[in-house]
């Protein structure tokens, strides 16, 4: 098996940055070529409690920070395309969980290698986070359509020409296959537009090239954005980029209308 280039960062509990005291609570692994980024974090808070004392540890806040970090890598994984993206994320961490500077590592099987890094560098029992859909109403709708034979779930499609995998949780057919991908865009313009450009390229290639017996496919992005304020302007830029390349966008505020349309069009 050929090794791919990857990077790992230790996840450390650091309650007071000025004192430079920390303990390892987890590890994150990023492998750009495999489109993989994930974190494995200790279930226990005992090491953190030893550092600050039981009375000084805010357990609910620490547990919430753990969940948020796991969720960030899951929901925003498409925003991590290069070492620079990961380094930027590391540099902007602002709560009690810090990430060390990324270090190179050879990756053969990303999930297995992440497990091994956790055992080697952290130890103990890891958390088993429960994955929640980004848009529950979207998920329940397509679960029902799948039971009716009118939708596919969790489809891994190979993007033509570039040969890269694209995971889409939902798909339905109305003459052609429509691949429905929820996407949370960063509030930082460079990251949001970068993610939009990548999706635009993949959508364009899917639209213009037959991949298998199912023929050409359309990509539909159901979008939401971090933050507020200038988010509406950024949303407009992202939508224009995607629409230029045959990718339909559905803002979170228009999900109900989109689902009503799919209800009428989807067939087996």
pLDDT tens, residue by residue, 104-153: 999 999 989 999 999 999 988 888 765 567 788 998 999 899 989 999 98
Bridge partners for 4 per DSSP: 107
| Side-chain-facing half-sphere of 78: CA atoms under 13 Å | 24
Neighbours of 110 (CB within 10 A): 19
Q: Decide if 239 contacts 250 (C-beta within 8 A).
A: no
Nearby residues of 4 by Cβ (< 8 Å), 6 or more positions away: 31, 33, 34, 106, 107, 108
Q: What is the pLDDT of residues 100-113, one digit of tens each?
A: 999 999 999 998 99
Closest CA to 242 of 258, 267, 219: 219
Give me the percent of the chain exceeding a pLDDT of 90.
Answer: 48
Question: Which residue ranges form the domains of the chain, and what is each CATH number?
Answer: 4-121 (no CATH), 136-265 (3.40.1350)
Backbone angles phi, psi at 146, to 5 degrees: -65, -40
239: pLDDT strictly greater than 90: yes
Average pLDDT over residues 172-180: 94
Average pLDDT, the chain: 87
Can you give the pLDDT at residue 229?
Answer: 46
Report CA dihedral (156, 159, 163, 164) to the nearest 10 degrees: -60
- CA–CA distance, 208 with 215 (Å, rounded to integer): 10
């Amino acid at each position: 098996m050929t090794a791919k280039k990857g990077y790992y960062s230790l996840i450390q509990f650091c309650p007071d940055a000025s004192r430079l005291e920390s303990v390892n609570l987890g590890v994150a692994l990023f492998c750009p070529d495999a489109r993989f980024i994930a974190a494995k974090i200790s279930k226990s808070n005992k090491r953190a409690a030893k550092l600050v004392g039981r009375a000084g540890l805010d357990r609910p806040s620490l547990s919430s920070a753990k969940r948020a970090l796991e969720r960030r890598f899951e929901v925003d994984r498409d925003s991590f395309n290069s070492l620079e993206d990961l380094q930027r994320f590391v540099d902007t961490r602002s709560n009690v969980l810090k990430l060390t500077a990324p270090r190179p590592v050879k990756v053969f099987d990303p999930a297995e290698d992440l497990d091994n890094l956790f055992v080697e560098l952290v130890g103990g029992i890891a958390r088993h986070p429960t994955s929640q859909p980004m848009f529950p109403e979207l998920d329940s709708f397509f679960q029902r359509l799948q039971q009716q034979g009118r939708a596919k779930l969790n489809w891994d499609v190979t993007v033509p020409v570039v040969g890269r995998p694209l995971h889409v949780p939902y798909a339905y057919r109305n003459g052609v296959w429509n691949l429905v991908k929820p996407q949370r865009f960063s509030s930082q313009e460079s990251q949001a537009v970068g993610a939009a450009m990548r999706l635009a390229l993949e959508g364009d290639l899917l639209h213009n090239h037959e991949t298998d017996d199912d023929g050409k496919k359309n990509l539909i992005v159901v979008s939401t954005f971090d933050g507020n304020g200038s988010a509406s302007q950024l949303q407009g830029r992202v939508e224009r980029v995607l629409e230029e390349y045959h990718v339909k966008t559905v803002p979170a505020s228009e999900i109900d209308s989109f689902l009503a349309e799919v209800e009428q069009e989807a067939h087996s």
